[in-house]
Amino acid sequence: MEEKRKHPRTEINEPAYVSSGGSVMSCMVRNISAEGAAIDVENPAFVPPRFRLVMASNSTVYECTLTWIQSNRIGVTFAATPQTHNHQDE
């Protein structure tokens, strides 16, 4: 596949959460860049077009737009600069 990304992605395997409208789904972030990420989820059908990605390690929140789905992996584009929270959004 031809490399179309403007920013190189960093390979990581970090747990995170897809959060939208009060529902939370666990996921695994496989790679990440300044503009987006690739995430493994159990069922992509339950992922909305726009959602928040919350990193489990440091509670950094990314506003995401779903870009592509390939099996159980989804690609997202970050809509804004990530926000860091000192408390967990429940």
Task: Provide the residue ranges of all domains of the chain, joining segments of one domain with +.
Answer: 30-47+65-80
Burial of 28 (0-12, 13-18, 19+ CB in 10 A): middle
The contacts of residue 1 (CB under 8 Å, 6+ apart) are: none
Q: Does residue 82 register a pLDDT over 70?
A: no
Indicate whether this model's pTM tops 0.85.
no
What is the dihedral angle through the alpha carbons of 12, 17, 20, 21, rounded to the nearest 10 degrees? -170
Could you give the CA distance from residue 16 to residue 33 in angstroms, rounded to a whole number? 15
- 2-44 confidence digits (pLDDT tens): 455 567 889 999 999 999 999 999 999 999 999 999 999 999 9
Confidence of residue 86 (pLDDT cuts 50, 70, 90): low
Per DSSP, the three-state class of 45 is helix
